[in-house]
């Protein structure tokens, strides 16, 4: 699992702030990105748990992407390993 602080925008767009009397536009809003690779048999349950935990019912709740993971490469050694039965589940939330 990887959790990252990121910036972006979707339907909620940016917002305006004031600093030392000057108004400026902030186009990106802070978000959290969660990435996890799970076995195919666990994908539906993991998605359900993420959606349940992240849902506020407001714009900016995020999206869940499910995508295949074909292989993994260990950076230190360059070793490659196939991962035919795993899918990646990604979710970005506010």
Hey, where are the domains in the chain? 2-93
Locate tokens 């714009």: which residue? 59
Task: Quickly name the fold that domain 2-93 has.
Answer: Alpha-Beta Plaits (3.30.70)
Cα distance between residue 85 and residue 80, in whole Å: 15
Best CA proximity match to 37, nearest among 85, 78, 73: 85
pTM comes to 0.66
**Can you read off the two tokens belonging to residue 59?**
């714009």
The answer to whether the beta carbons of residues 7 and 40 sit under 8 Å apart is no
Mean pLDDT of 48-62: 91
pLDDT at 31: 85
31-40 mean pLDDT: 89
């Amino acid at each position: 699992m990887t959790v990252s602080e990121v910036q972006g925008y979707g339907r909620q767009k940016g917002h305006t702030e004031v600093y030392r009397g000057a108004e400026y536009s902030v186009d990106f809003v802070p978000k959290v990105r969660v990435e996890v690779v799970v076995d195919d048999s666990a994908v539906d349950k993991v998605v359900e748990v993420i959606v349940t935990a992240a849902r506020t019912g407001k714009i900016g709740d995020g999206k869940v992407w499910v995508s295949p993971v074909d292989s993994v490469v260990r950076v230190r050694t360059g070793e490659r390993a196939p991962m035919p039965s795993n899918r990646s589940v990604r979710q970005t939330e506010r």
